[in-house]
A and B are shown apart, each in its own frame.
Chain A
Amino acid sequence: MDKTKRYERLLSRLKDGDINRRSFLTALGAAGVTAGLVGGPMGMLTRAARAATPEQIRFDGWGGVVSEAFEKFAFAPYTAKTGIKVVSGTFGGADEYIARVKASQTGEFNLAHLSGVFDYARYHGLELTSELNEANIPNLANVIPGLITPLRNITGGTLSAVPYNYGTTSIAYNRKYISDDEAKAKGAKLMVDDAYKGKIGGWAEWKTRIWYGALQSDQDPNNIQDIDAVWDQIRIHRDLALKYWTSGAELMSLLAEEEIYVTEGWSGRIRALQDQGHDIGYFDPKGGLGWQECIFVLRGSPMAECEELLNFMLEPEVAIAVAEGQFYPPALDPNKVELTDLVKSLPAFDPAGTLDGLSFFNPEYWNSNEAEWSKTFSRVQRGY
């Protein structure tokens, strides 16, 4: 007998009064333990149970003001309308989240606020993508087309996520020590200038390090011809750097405390520092790195319910509130939706809604090199 039928029969026996609640739970628990030991079958059982009447949907994001905005403007009205609770979780990074998903049963995690096109492709490679019914997400029409197309290209024309916001990872510098003119003149090479030895930082992420290594060796990051020259630049940066930061909070602390004078930084975090009164300059060099974040729906999730939640999250009121909370422009097309003055003032905001001025990771190119480059970066970082 298949697990779904067994579960349904057990449930109907409970409803008919053939067995009491205690016996039902005991039988279900025993089945769960047995199935849990072998993994997959329990996943099918829980999936079936969820698919029948999903009482809750799990959403994972970056926490902080972003989660608060989601809770207030999207999750609460969604729960009021549908009766489905949104359980909110947080993660420290896309890598950490993917490790958790890998260790979980299908359907345990549903939606996540993930980074860019690269991770979308990575999830697709791991067969974790779903297929959204776009008819259930009318607010998708308000999203910048240039952000949707790269996702469609990966999943063969369908979508497993909706773009939600975008930003840049560009040069951040302390104006007390580095002038705007110097930053503009040196661009990415400012971070390998030995005049600032011991006062340079950098994100401890292999993709960003290689991207900037390519710019510093005058190469196109999406078409690197001489990878050894890139590693050399990363080594130079490593030897000049005080610290590789691993979170936005650490980036802000290092700049605010003047431990470092220059690093690449996330546009929203730098804006937050500027609003706190720190005289931090921010400059998108030629070939500066743009990225988008999306709300991703994982395979095995209750699709109709997730699509409805996505539509709530893409409501202009919600997307703008989140954008103002995290200082990253929303994925809403400024030609279709009236955005606030605060959103228009955010770094990386593109009033044309085309994002033509930004460079993004080419997911196919970067994913094809991911295994080798991430491993090599780990060694180069340690002095090799």
Chain B
Amino acid sequence: MAAESARGRRQPWILLSPSLATISFLLIIPMMFIVVYSFWLRTATGADQVGFYLDNWQEVLTDRYYRDILFQTFQIAFYTTVICALVGYIPAYFVANTRMRSKTLLLLMLMLPFWISYIIRTMSWINILGSSGAINTFLIWTGAIDSPISMLYNQTTVILGLVHYLLPFMILNIYVSLDGIEKNLTEAAQSLGCNGWQAFREVTLPLSFPGLAAGSLLCFVLASGTYITPLVLGGPRDAMFANLVFEAIVTQLNWPLGSALSLVLLALLGVLVAVYSRYLGVDQIAKSFR
């Protein structure tokens, strides 16, 4: 009896062991290396000085420069998330409520952008917004303008690129939420005197909130960690925090400082996910990928 009970206790761990081993090797151990690295120092030659130094942490936590870029990063991520939520709700609502037979096709179309490289999709904006791009060419052709309007390489184009990248994530999350709402509920609300807008505001919108929140979390976290979009579509000043990590590690060969910077970003986003998980649960995000 006792042996059976012990076997019963071990069994979940045995079943979980492949996953635990994978997570340990691919996530926990590399993360430990990053933590250890953050306490080392970079020497003048670019080599690492092994030891326990708090210099990197002191610099990252006390220097206004990093705080400002972090604030700018979260600001860009916030604008991106809000735009994705506003723009993404309508197509998600349409797909969830359409009576068209080709609903699967619509969902497939939402996934289409993922088939093209993110970098290529980002660079495509150069051909749309550039001086010789589609918009300027059209406006000059119609006579609306005489010379090209400068639209590229600023914070707006960075946000535009991020919205382009993240919108499908938002739509899919909202769609999953909307698709799970019983249609009878809206009809019941309308039978009790609500008009269409009131039924949406009082029933559909609150019930779709978990999807909206999950999409927002995903968009915010992904936007906060990006560095390609500001690199391709940003001007000299439009850097995000991940660009600083890239610069520290690749350009300055300062892996210890880069490690400390990446851990700061990870910790802040981790807190955000933890708060979200505490109040809403992260399982909602997983639903959209099922």
Contact = CB atoms under 8 A, between A and B. Distances in A.
B231 interface: yes
Nearest to B255: A102
Contact of A378 (B132, B150, B247, B255): B247
A253 B252 CA distance: 27
B237 A95 contact: no
Interface string B223-240: 000000001000111010
B250 interface: yes
A257 B130 contact: yes
A329 B133 CA distance: 34
B114 interface: no
B150 A102 contact: no
Given A122-B46, A125-B46, A382-B239, A375 B252 contact: yes
Which among A258, A370, A379, A382 has the greatest number of chain B C-beta atoms within 10 A? A382
Contacts of A47: none
A258 B131 contact: yes
Given A125-B45, A242-B235, A371-B42, A95 B253 contact: yes
B205 interface: no
A157 interface: no
A98 interface: yes
B236 A257 contact: no
B107 interface: no
Contacts of A271: none
Contacts of B69: 382
Contacts of B42: 371
A241 interface: yes
A126 B47 contact: yes
Q: Which secondary structure characterizes the binding site on chain B?
A: loop
A246 B65 contact: no
Nearest to A246: B231
Contacts of B110: none
A3 B231 CA distance: 45
A126 B45 CA distance: 6
A253 B198 CA distance: 52
A213 to B, nearest CB: 14
A259 B253 contact: no
A2 B243 CA distance: 44
Interface in B17-44: 42, 44
B153 interface: yes
B236 A238 contact: yes
A204 B238 CA distance: 13
Contacts of A122: 45-46
B152 interface: yes
Interface string A239-258: 00111101000000100011
Interface string B143-154: 000001010110
Contact of B132 (A127, A204, A257): A257
B218 interface: no
A202 to B, nearest CB: 8
A304 to B, nearest CB: 28
A383 interface: yes
B251 interface: yes
A99 B250 contact: yes
A285 interface: no
Contact of B249 (A99, A374, A375): A99
A244 B247 CA distance: 14
B126 interface: yes
A198 interface: yes
For chain B, which range describes its interface: under 10, 10 to 19, 20 to 34, or 35 or more residues? Answer: 20 to 34
Nearest to A379: B65
Nearest to A374: B252
B41 to A, nearest CB: 11
Contacts of A382: 65, 69, 236-237, 239
B211 to A, nearest CB: 36
B252 A198 contact: no
B285 interface: no
Interface in B60-74: 65, 69
A99 B69 CA distance: 24
A381 B237 contact: yes
Contacts of B236: 204, 238, 241, 243-244, 381-382
B235 to A, nearest CB: 6
A338 interface: no
B237 A383 contact: yes
A241 B154 CA distance: 11
Contact of A371 (B44, B133, B152, B247): B44
B235 A243 contact: yes
A242 to B, nearest CB: 5
B251 A374 contact: yes
B150 A198 contact: yes
B253 A99 contact: yes
Nearest to A240: B236
A72 to B, nearest CB: 29
Interface of B: 42, 44-47, 65, 69, 126, 130-133, 148, 150, 152-153, 231, 235-237, 239, 244, 247, 249-253, 255
Interface of A: 95-96, 98-99, 102, 122, 125-127, 198, 204, 206, 238, 241-244, 246, 253, 257-259, 368, 370-371, 374-375, 378-379, 381-384
15 contacts: A99-B249, A99-B250, A126-B46, A198-B150, A204-B236, A206-B251, A238-B236, A238-B237, A243-B235, A257-B130, A378-B244, A378-B251, A381-B239, A382-B65, A383-B237
By Cβ-Cβ distance, the 9 closest A-B pairs, closest first, are: A125-B45, A257-B132, A243-B153, A383-B237, A238-B236, A95-B251, A95-B250, A99-B250, A244-B236
Given A96-B250, A370-B46, A378-B247, 4 more contacts: A95-B250, A125-B46, A198-B150, A259-B131
